[in-house]
C-alpha cells in the first residue's frame, strides 16, 4: 500500500495511507500542506499532543469542510473544542468494522496512560496494522497483513542504562514512564514475527532517542 510518514516520534505523529487517510494528526499544519487536499478522513488515536494537534485539526476542518474525523468516544470532546462540526465526526467502537467504501477500518484497543486505540485498515485488497503508544500488544493478532506500522520505542538494555545513569547523577529519569507506557523493540519484533507472512512489510514507529546523534532519523523501515 502507498504510504507517507510525515513524522513519527515525540516531535509529532502523522501518517498518510493510500493518499487519502491521515492516521494521527500531531504535527503543525505546514507539515501536511502538500497532502491535505487529497485527504478524505483523519483517524485519531488519543489526546496526547504529538498525536492530536488542536491547531492543525482546526485549520484542516476549516480548509476542508467535508473531511471526516473518526475516533473513539474519548476524543469527541477534544474534536468539538477544536472547531470540528459534530456532523463531521464519526464515533467508532473498538472491534467494530466500518465501511467507507474506499476502505474499511477497525479500531483496536491499546494500553497507554490515556485511552488509546490502534487501527486495522483494509484497502484495495491490502491489510495494514497500525499501533503506537501502547505498553503491550498481548492478546492481539494480525495474521499475514501486508504492512505493519508498530511502535518499537526502546531497547531494554539501552533504556535501563539511561535510567541508571540518570539515577546515579541524581537526575529525573523520564524513561521510567517509557518503560510503563510504550512498546519495546523486542516486543514489537515478537509481535511481527508471530503474525507476518512471507510478503509482509513492517516499519518501526515511534522510536525513543537515546542521544543527540540519534535525533536525525524519525523511523526505521524494514521489509524483511
141 pLDDT above the threshold of 70? yes
Cα angle: 32, vertex 34, 35; to 5 degrees: 70
pLDDT in tens, 41-92: 999 999 999 999 999 999 999 999 999 999 999 999 999 999 999 999 999 9
Taking the whole predicted model, whether its pTM rises above 0.85 is answered as yes
Type and span of the H or E element at 181: helix 175-181
**Each residue's pLDDT tens digit, 169-205:** 898 877 787 888 999 999 999 999 999 999 999 999 9
Phi/psi class of residue 181: alpha, beta or left (left: φ > 0; alpha: ψ in -120 to 50)?
Answer: alpha
pLDDT at site 210 = 55
Q: Which residues pair with 20 in a beta bridge?
A: none
Q: 3-152+185-209: which CATH architecture?
A: 4-Layer Sandwich (3.60)
Amino acid at each position: 500500500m502507498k504510504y507517507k510518514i510525515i513524522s513519527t516520534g515525540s516531535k509529532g505523529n502523522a501518517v498518510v495511507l493510500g493518499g487519502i487517510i491521515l492516521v494521527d494528526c500531531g504535527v503543525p499544519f505546514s507539515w501536511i500542506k502538500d497532502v491535505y487536499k487529497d485527504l478524505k478522513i483523519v483517524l485519531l488515536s488519543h489526546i496526547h499532543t504529538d498525536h492530536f494537534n488542536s491547531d492543525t485539526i482546526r485549520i484542516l476542518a476549516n480548509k476542508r469542510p467535508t473531511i471526516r474525523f473518526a475516533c473513539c468516544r474519548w476524543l469527541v470532546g477534544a474534536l468539538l473544542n477544536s472547531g470540528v462540526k459534530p456532523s463531521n465526526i464519526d464515533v467508532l467502537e473498538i472491534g467494530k468494522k466500518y465501511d467507507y467504501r474506499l476502505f474499511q477500518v477497525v479500531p483496536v484497543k491499546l494500553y497507554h496512560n490515556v485511552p488509546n486505540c490502534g487501527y486495522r485498515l483494509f484497502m484495495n485488497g491490502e491489510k495494514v496494522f497500525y499501533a503506537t503508544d501502547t505498553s503491550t500488544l498481548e492478546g492481539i493478532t494480525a495474521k499475514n497483513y501486508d504492512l505493519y506500522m508498530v511502535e518499537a520505542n526502546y531497547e531494554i538494555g539501552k533504556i535501563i542504562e539511561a535510567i541508571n545513569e540518570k539515577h546515579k547523577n541524581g537526575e529525573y529519569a523520564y524513561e521510567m514512564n517509557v518503560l510503563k507506557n510504550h512498546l519495546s523493540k523486542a516486543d514489537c519484533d515478537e509481535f511481527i514475527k508471530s503474525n507476518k507472512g512471507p510478503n509482509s512489510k513492517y516499519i518501526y514507529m515511534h522510536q525513543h532517542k537515546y542521544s543527540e546523534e540519534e535525533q536525525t532519523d524519525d523511523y526505521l523501515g524494514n521489509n524483511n
